[in-house]
Structure 1
Amino acid sequence: MNGKDYYIPAAAMAVSLAFKLPALRTNWRDPLLRSVCALLALAGAVFAFAAPPTILAVNRWTGVANFSAPLVYCLITAFSASCLVLVVNWRGGPPERTRRVSRRWILGYSAVIAALIVLFLLGDAPVERLRDFDTYYANTPYMRQMIALYLGAHHVAAVVMVAMCWRWSLQVRGWLRVGLVIIVSGYVFNLSYDATKISAVVARWLGHDLDALSTSVAPPLAAVGALISAMGFVVPLVCQRLSDNWHIWGTYRRLGTLWQEVRTAVPGSAAGVRMSWWSAAELRVIQRESDIHDGFLHLRPYFDRSRHDDARARAVASGDDEDTARAVADAAMVVAAVRARSADPEGKAIGDGEDGPDGTPAPADWPRDLLRISHALRHSPVVQADRRRAAAPAGPRR
């Protein structure tokens, strides 16, 4: 792999992190969000500092041959810890237990990072190696232990991640399960990376040469594994957000029939408050619900309980369940009230109080489910029959 093969995934991680930073600034205390940002930052740093051009630049800047080796190993170890901490916070549970488990992983891998630094300082690696440090120094005192320690820590994290995510994926559904399966797939590549690296190092210990596994096979496996794993962490968050937005926009559209029905009841068409095109879907739904309730306030003097009860009885007789029948009855009462309001342009009934035109109050728990009422307005045969009867011309008088 050349420099750009490392820098492209590093840039992808940086872009993902940039999208998360605004949320991090406003929700710094959210442990899950902090864990996601830490993982993205460390993943990008691993790729950026593992690139041969960066290794060369860091070595030159520090004046220490192979200074990049422990730096990259420490970043890989920190990234492994961040993955474990993210899964712990993602899965949730009692806050105290989550914090305790997270602290254990952080402290354990911090100890590994400290040991890596100490072993590098104790060892001797005078010959700069940009691509094959692991195998070149596999038999060097202290360097050998440092290499084995970072590979072991990475392998433990990969095995634990696969076990945790796979077991969790069997307990959940939806986008979360998809994300967990993607993470497991990514860590299969990480386990393959460990296998190739360890095989090459062990071969050196035994006097054989399998350096190509470490220098040519392992880096692409690590790159693919990291990208797939990062995608697994991001997909559930992004897709769940998209799914929520789709549901919210669906609610907005389904309320449209009821909104169109009652908006004319508000004098001056004030019910149709205009919103900018970039307004959030949640705000649009709230505004539409507010418009509907404003319309109900103006229609209340025209609500007729007898029409409500008659429509409910016809809906039940036609086979509708209780909830549907109530929605049909509410919708029929709204249609009749809108018609009565249109026949009273001067609003003479407004001052008559909250009782309907027959002197009986509207249902005490009304309105109920706005979505059901809106659906009944469009699809209920009972409501459509009332509309046709109201639109039919009166017969000749005798």
Structure 2
Amino acid sequence: MNAGTAYLSVAAGFLVATAVKAWALRKNPRDPLLRAVAATLFVAAFLFVTAAPPNLAVMNRVIGIPNVAAPIVYSILTAFDGISIVLLIHWRGNEDSRVTVRQTRLCLTTYAAVMIALYALFALGDAPVERLRDLDTYYAGTPWIREMILLYLAAHTVAAVTMVVLCLRWSRKVPGTLKVGLLLITAGAVCMFGYDLLKFTAIVARWLGHDWDSLSTNVAFSLAGFSALLIAAGFMLPPIGQGVGSRWRALRRFRRLQPLWLEIRPEIPPTSPPPMPWWQPVERRLMQRERDIFDAVLRLTPWFDQSTGSEVYALALAEHSGFRRARGEADASVIARAVIQKGHAVPALAPDHRWTVSSIEDSEDLVDMSAAMLNSLRVEATRRSTARAEQRA
């Protein structure tokens, strides 16, 4: 794969990632972090598009100045460095917003000044021979052009070190996908630093009369693409991981509530909409299932038997001494009995003989009650005894 194809392949990857974030922005257009990540990914894609040697030649030819593409690419790289640091600053957050604003202004001002200086140094220098891949080493000894090269590398090195320090400090305080994302960004920043070291080494070798240009044109190029992909993955992983984790938790809860939902399904009001199909978002399906359960419990409340609940609660508590588990079994037994009795047109109980189902008030207790509906021997015994009593009646 030649250099142009390699650069454009990396750019295509960043454009796909940008499109994914842009699609997410349709649902959360005011999310500042999402917008910042999308902007960072777009700048990275733009950087690799402009840095491809064929496009460098096109820019030089269109503008009419040999090597003018160099300060353009260097300034885009500098912008990417600055945006990445600012994104980390805002992503991490700070109790004092004034500190965040001050850090952001300092970073943006510094890197904007570097970008302006790059163009000024190029204008002062003389680079008449077009170099599409080895400009850094070819002009390593040329006044002003040399300073331009050293300036962009120094700014890039500072960004790499800053990102490593910020991410390592923050990664010690956070868990999960956020920690993994920060470690990926750290690895990408270390590769950035390696890129700079290789560039500096090749330039110093030129000053000393040696030809180590391959370090700059080949090895450093490979590190550049790899580091950019690691950093992009680090920025994308936490929000993706959080979304996947949220959907997984919703799906798990949806499934765990199924035994309870199946038990009270006959009491779901006929005016309620039918269950959503499987391809609908699981969060919406979970909301519908919980709403159905709440509605059915309200309809069953007049048949909640106090004596049944008290008996099962006492037996369960004596066996395993777990308050929540015992309460879940008692509530499940009461609901199972009420479904059967209401289905056989048994008269409602007086208010002072009704059991209060408290598990419905807490999301975790609701799941425990659903588990008891499926696994508890006491709930099954209540079903059988109630069914036999109604048959005899």
Q: CA deviation at 1:387?
A: 2.5
2:384 alignment counterpart:
388
- Asked if the contact 1:166–1:184 (Cα under 8 Å) also holds between the matched residues in 2, the reply is yes
Q: CA deviation at 1:271?
A: 5.0
For normalisation by structure 1, the TM-score amounts to 0.92
Match for 1:199 among 178, 189, 201?
201
d(CA) in 2 for partners of 1:28 and 1:96? 25
2:311 alignment counterpart:
310
CA-to-partner distance for each residue in 1:312-332, whole Å, 9 max, x for gaps?
111101114111111111111
- Alignment CA distance shift 1:277-1:316 (3 Å): closer
2:192 alignment counterpart:
190
Q: Which amino acid aligns with 2:142?
A: T
Paired residues, number: 388
2:108 alignment counterpart:
106
Q: Which amino acid aligns with 1:242?
A: V
- Asked if the contact 1:271–1:294 (Cα under 8 Å) also holds between the matched residues in 2, the reply is no
- Asked if the contact 1:32–1:89 (Cα under 8 Å) also holds between the matched residues in 2, the reply is yes
- Asked if the contact 2:334–2:355 (Cα under 8 Å) also holds between the matched residues in 1, the reply is no
**3-state SS of the aligned residue for 2:194?**
helix
CA-to-partner distance for each residue in 1:144-201, whole Å, 9 max, x for gaps?
1100000000001001111111122122211111111112122222111111101111
- Alignment CA distance shift 1:137-1:395 (3 Å): closer
- Asked if the contact 2:56–2:69 (Cα under 8 Å) also holds between the matched residues in 1, the reply is yes
- Asked if the contact 2:306–2:355 (Cα under 8 Å) also holds between the matched residues in 1, the reply is yes
Q: Which amino acid aligns with 2:266?
A: T
2:173 alignment counterpart:
171
Q: CA deviation at 1:384?
A: 2.2
Q: CA deviation at 1:64?
A: 1.2
d(CA) in 1 for partners of 2:71 and 2:155? 14
Match for 1:235 among 225, 234, 237?
237
For normalisation by structure 2, the TM-score amounts to 0.93
Which range is displaced more, 155-164 or 357-366? 357-366
Q: Which amino acid aligns with 1:85?
A: V
Q: CA deviation at 1:63?
A: 1.0
Unpaired segments ≥5 residues, structure 1: none
- Asked if the contact 1:84–1:105 (Cα under 8 Å) also holds between the matched residues in 2, the reply is yes
2:182 alignment counterpart:
180
CA-to-partner distance for each residue in 1:251-285, whole Å, 9 max, x for gaps?
111111111111102354x5562324432211111
Q: Do structure 1's residue 73 and structure 2's residue 92 form an aligned pair?
A: no
- Asked if the contact 2:198–2:215 (Cα under 8 Å) also holds between the matched residues in 1, the reply is yes
**3-state SS of the aligned residue for 1:367?**
helix
d(CA) in 2 for partners of 1:96 and 1:215? 43
CA-to-partner distance for each residue in 1:111-160, whole Å, 9 max, x for gaps?
11111111111111111111111111111111011000000000010011
Q: CA deviation at 1:392?
A: 5.2
Q: Which amino acid aligns with 2:288?
A: Q
Q: CA deviation at 1:98?
A: 2.3
2:131 alignment counterpart:
129
- Asked if the contact 2:304–2:338 (Cα under 8 Å) also holds between the matched residues in 1, the reply is yes
**3-state SS of the aligned residue for 1:295?**
helix
Q: CA deviation at 1:68?
A: 0.7
d(CA) in 1 for partners of 2:64 and 2:276? 61
2:367 alignment counterpart:
371
- Asked if the contact 1:377–1:383 (Cα under 8 Å) also holds between the matched residues in 2, the reply is yes
CA-to-partner distance for each residue in 1:220-265, whole Å, 9 max, x for gaps?
1101111112111112221221111111001111111111111102
2:285 alignment counterpart:
284
- Asked if the contact 1:265–1:341 (Cα under 8 Å) also holds between the matched residues in 2, the reply is no
Which range is displaced more, 8-17 or 164-173? 164-173
2:38 alignment counterpart:
37
d(CA) in 2 for partners of 1:108 and 1:233? 23
Which range is displaced more, 44-53 or 198-207? 198-207
Q: CA deviation at 1:385?
A: 2.4
CA-to-partner distance for each residue in 1:38-91, whole Å, 9 max, x for gaps?
210111111111110110111111111111100110011111111111111111
**3-state SS of the aligned residue for 2:320?**
coil
- Asked if the contact 2:303–2:338 (Cα under 8 Å) also holds between the matched residues in 1, the reply is yes
Taking only aligned residues, the RMSD between alpha carbons, in angstroms, comes to: 2.2
Unpaired segments ≥5 residues, structure 2: none
**3-state SS of the aligned residue for 2:280?**
coil
1:64 alignment counterpart:
65
Q: Which amino acid aligns with 1:381?
A: L
Q: Which amino acid aligns with 1:261?
A: E
**3-state SS of the aligned residue for 1:318?**
helix
Q: CA deviation at 1:395?
A: 11
1:151 alignment counterpart:
153
d(CA) in 2 for partners of 1:358 and 1:85? 62
